[in-house]
A and B are shown apart, each in its own frame.
Chain A
Amino acid sequence: MSGSGEVVGAILILIGAIFSLISAIGNVRLPDVYTRSHAASKSSTLGVLCALVGTLLYFLISDGFFSIRLILGIFFVFLTAPVAAHVICRAAYRHQVPLTEQSVQDELKDYYMENENLEQEDKAYLIEKEIELQVTEQV
């Protein structure tokens, strides 16, 4: 058993832990659902992937044991985390969760107003919000 496996594994797991910490800080600091989901999905996925790759390499180098389950886990996390973030954001948008006030552009809104079968009151709410925004801009 050589020490190199431990060094490689430790470095990768440390990088993964740092990325997870950055993701947690982003979750606290960022203002609305969409930016938070951006922080939570991307950097925590990378953090988990680094930790899993570190574990895989540690067992591969020091024990000579190649774990198929870790490969499967890496692939699975890589595939599911962005889709989960997408579904959460989509649900938030469809329930008219507002964007943060600093945001300058909402490109989805026009498409959404035209192509979705909205309830009448939801549409009225969206239009009302738009008028409100324009008024605040003029002021």
Chain B
Amino acid sequence: MKFTDVFLQTSTKILVFIIMTFSIFILFAGHHNPGGGFIGGLITSSALVLLYITFDLQTVRDIIPVDFNQLAAGGVIVSVLTGTASFLFHVPFLTQTFTYVDLPLLGNTELASAVIFDLGVYMTVIGTTMTIITSISEDEK
């Protein structure tokens, strides 16, 4: 029996945007405020789970054609490369730095290399969570 619920589907279309925006806010706020890559990744995957509950597994897979295994692997690679990049400047592994840059739209902004590491964590968390959930939710007969 196909499950369709107009209330749930319509509100999900609005809610997913709010949750995604909030997760990206949390990801970038992690440097000075509570938050960071791990919790941001979990919030993003909760938005994706909401999509999976409301719509079909196959429909969501068509809309978001991301291989979550590869996303998790890519996140680990990004994090490791951020760590090893410090060897280029003859400083120890995983050393971080920050600088102030004048960006065209945002003005004087602090850019920290820890954000790239956090981005790797974020991708890994999304990839792992979604791999677990999609692999236990579908059952091939």
Which A positions have Cβ atoms within 8 angstroms of B?
A: 72, 75-76, 79-80, 83, 86-87, 90, 117
User: Which residues of chain A come closer than 8 Å to B7, judged between CB atoms?
Assistant: 83, 86-87
- The number of residue pairs between A and B whose CB atoms lie closer than 8 Å in the complex comes to 20
**A90 to B11 alpha-carbon distance, docked (Å):** 16
Contact B15 A79 (CB under 8 A): yes
Contact A87 B18 (CB under 8 A): no
Nearest 6 A/B pairs, CB to CB: A83-B11, A86-B7, A83-B7, A87-B8, A79-B11, A83-B8
Which residues in window 7-51 of B have CB below 8 A to A? 7-8, 11, 14-15, 18, 22
Contact A72 B5 (CB under 8 A): no
Contact B22 A87 (CB under 8 A): no
Q: Which residue of B lies closest to A79 (CB)?
A: B11
**A87 to B5 alpha-carbon distance, docked (Å):** 8
Contact B5 A75 (CB under 8 A): no
Contact of A72 among B1, B8, B11, B18 (CB under 8 A): B18
